[in-house]
Structure 1
Amino acid sequence: MMSGLRSLYPEIEPFEHGTLDVGDGHVVYWERAGTRGAKPAVFLHGGPGGGIAPAHRRLFDPERYDVLLFDQRGCGRSTPHASLEANTTWHLVADIERLRTMMGVGKWQVFGGSWGSTLALAYAETHPERVSELVLRGVYLLTRAELSWYYQFGVSEIFPDKWERFLAPIPAAERSDMMAAYHRRLTGTDRAAQIAAAKAWSLWEGETITLLPEPATSDRFGEDDFALAFARIENHFFMNGGWLEDGQLLRDARRLAGIPGVIVHGRYDMPCPAKNAWELAKAWPDAALHLVEGAGHAYSQPGILHHLIEATDRFADRP
């Protein structure tokens, strides 16, 4: 491993936290970390349905940033748990705006990885005037091709052992559409089948996002509560194509003109093929692309983490 790689800032507790009633029966948990009144940023977690973790606060210099992190609808400490009602990309984009208004800032840095990059792009293309910079990791454009690659044929060829476990809860007759087969179980009334499907769905992701096995990353995906919210919400979003037109985020990348950005993507990112980061960087000349060799998808991969910390440091003193 090359020396001089940047890593997470020291552990930090939020200086403020609370909940926000965003309507539709949803209450969103939020927290702020760093220094009140410093450079504002918002952290968008992955999944959908992944929730925030304490380590996410450590991606930013606490002396130079005031970071708002929140659990998106239905996951983490937001309630109701694992709810799919009124839970779409556009509900979440509106929630981000509510949180910005609550924080009292005119614009902020938007940081998102994986599904968080999808949501960051949807938000920035809708409200470009509210975004000071974009930091994206593991770019996911949520196209039909990407969904098919991960849930039908593609990654199945790279991880045949793990794919077999993903297939296991689904009878052979239903395997021609794995997302739909899982959807039936994740939204069904059989609680045991729901939990079994949720764990299989979640572990497929947890065990394919790192270049080498990383139990510290993947074990969380097998926990009942986490898996249920993660699998139900993610499958719900993906069954609906994120409520996006196919190719919309790349098509509308012109709306990002003038917003400085950094894109960090692992060469061997399985869920999110590097081609999408490459195409986005071509469509958005204000962004610097770092294609990281010897890295998968997770932000914990050393080369990826290095470039993410470099990016937040680089933008920290930008007005």
Structure 2
Amino acid sequence: MDRSARQKGASFHLFPPIEPFDRRMMDVGDGHQIYVEQCGARDGIPVIVLHGGPGGGTSPFMRRFFDPKIYRIVLFDQRGCGRSKPSGSVESNTTWDLVADIERIREAFEIERWIVFGGSWGATLSLIYAISHPDRAAALALRGVFLATKAELDWFYEGGVSAFWPDLWDEFVGLLPMEERGEVIKNYHGHIHSGSYGEEVKYARAWTVWENALAAISSNGRVGPTPSDYALSFAKLESHYFINGAFLECDDWIIKNADRIAHIPGVIVQGRFDMICPPSSAYRLSKAWPKSDLRLIGQAGHALSEAGIMSELLTVMEDFADMRTELAL
């Protein structure tokens, strides 16, 4: 299909809804069980889908970016997320635990190499996984790049983006006592993990609404109510990861280790008006990663549901299917 035509109504050109041929709860130790599913072709090109957050989860919508006649689609809810148990748990829940879980899934499904598909935090985790296991990632499809740097966290949680969203920033930071507004992540984390259910829900909802409000370019900062259980799980996990610098040993760890993925082909799909993960991070990554292809999408923000983002990701996965022999899949 012509790309410009697809962008006019990209959601109508996603692949039809499908149901998994395999669903399971996988015991990964440390008291965690993760939900894992497989869809599409049993002998197809393997692709693993990494959701955002940290603290989000998978949805049936995510299955529809892949031709089910061509791809073997693997999705899972990361520790503490979605249908994984225990919900919202931060115990034994680090980036490195998630990387180990991805390898457990790969080994359980007897997959040698696969394409790694992830957006936002899912892009972060995709990169960290590929750097850690460069022989297992055949290609990367990334959306809305987040490099888990202090500069990016300062942009979104310590006032940078307030230059564009002063009204919503005032609502978000205004929930904190005046003396706590100089360290937003630290103090929101304290309230979200306070042990008082009412206090935790109040701050978790504000945290979640702040992020959701800035995700889609069309929302103008307004979103519907967030269920308290989802908000609490999401905010607990996200604040846990962010206050710990995503558990990376140094700032800018991904760029400093990008040489380990120099041989892996990848496409970066990035909205030019992404307020959560500004395009400067995607651009820096593209400069440090020789086999990457940066595709900046005009009139698009951060959300997976943006028409231009959806259209480009569909194209990326069509192109990767055509490269099956080249990718040795």
Residues of 2 paired with 1:103 and 1:270: CA distance? Answer: 37
Partner residue in 2 for 1:235: 239
Q: CA deviation at 1:214?
A: 7.7
Q: CA deviation at 1:33?
A: 0.9
Residues of 1 paired with 2:146 and 2:266: CA distance? Answer: 16
Q: CA deviation at 1:56?
A: 0.4
Please tell me whether residue 277 in structure 1 is matched to residue 255 in structure 2: no
With 161-170 and 292-301 compared, the bigger mean Cα shift is at: 161-170
Q: What aligned pairs does 1:285-304 form with structure 2 within 5 A after superposition?
A: 285-304=290-309
Q: Deviations over 1:83-110 (max 9, x none)?
A: 0000000000000000000111101000
Q: Deviations over 1:120-164 (max 9, x none)?
A: 000000000001110000000010000000001111121122112
Q: Name which of 71, 75, 78 aligns with 2:81.
A: 75
TM-score, scaled relative to structure 2 = 0.94
Residues of 2 paired with 1:174 and 1:4: CA distance? Answer: 47
Residues of 1 paired with 2:166 and 2:320: CA distance? Answer: 41
Q: What aligned pairs does 1:243-282 form with structure 2 within 5 A after superposition?
A: 243-244=247-248, 245-282=250-287
Residues of 2 paired with 1:3 and 1:148: CA distance? Answer: 38
Q: CA deviation at 1:4?
A: 3.2
Q: Deviations over 1:235-254 (max 9, x none)?
A: 00000000111011011111
Please tell me whether residue 50 in structure 1 is matched to residue 56 in structure 2: yes
SS of residue in 1 equivalent to 2:301: coil
Partner residue in 2 for 1:10: 16
Residues of 2 paired with 1:31 and 1:4: CA distance? Answer: 28
Partner residue in 1 for 2:166: 160
Please tell me the residue identity of whatever aligns with 1:3.
A
Unpaired stretches in structure 1, ≥5 consecutive residues: none
SS of residue in 2 equivalent to 1:55: helix
SS of residue in 1 equivalent to 2:6: coil
Q: What aligned pairs does 1:148-227 form with structure 2 within 5 A after superposition?
A: 148-213=154-219, 218-219=223-224, 222-227=226-231
Partner residue in 2 for 1:28: 34
Q: Deviations over 1:169-210 (max 9, x none)?
A: 211110000101111111111110100100000000001011
SS of residue in 2 equivalent to 1:128: coil
Q: Identity over the aligned pairs, expressed in percent? A: 47
Q: Name which of 51, 67, 79 aligns with 1:61.
A: 67
Structure 1 stretches of 4+ with a deviation exceeding 2 A read 1-7, 217-220
Residues of 2 paired with 1:281 and 1:2: CA distance? Answer: 25
8 A Cα contact 1:110 1:120, kept in partner: yes
Please tell me the residue identity of whatever aligns with 2:269.
V
Residues of 2 paired with 1:101 and 1:26: CA distance? Answer: 18
SS of residue in 2 equivalent to 1:163: helix
Please tell me the residue identity of whatever aligns with 2:242.
F
Partner residue in 1 for 2:318: 313
SS of residue in 2 equivalent to 1:4: helix
8 A Cα contact 2:159 2:169, kept in partner: no
Alpha carbon RMSD of aligned pairs, Å? Answer: 1.5
Partner residue in 2 for 1:119: 125
Unpaired stretches in structure 2, ≥5 consecutive residues: none
SS of residue in 2 equivalent to 1:134: strand
SS of residue in 1 equivalent to 2:28: strand
8 A Cα contact 1:206 1:219, kept in partner: no
8 A Cα contact 1:75 1:81, kept in partner: yes
Partner residue in 2 for 1:137: 143
Q: CA deviation at 1:218?
A: 4.4
Q: CA deviation at 1:57?
A: 0.6
Please tell me whether residue 98 in structure 1 is matched to residue 104 in structure 2: yes
TM-score, scaled relative to structure 1 = 0.96
Please tell me the residue identity of whatever aligns with 1:269.
D
8 A Cα contact 1:169 1:196, kept in partner: no
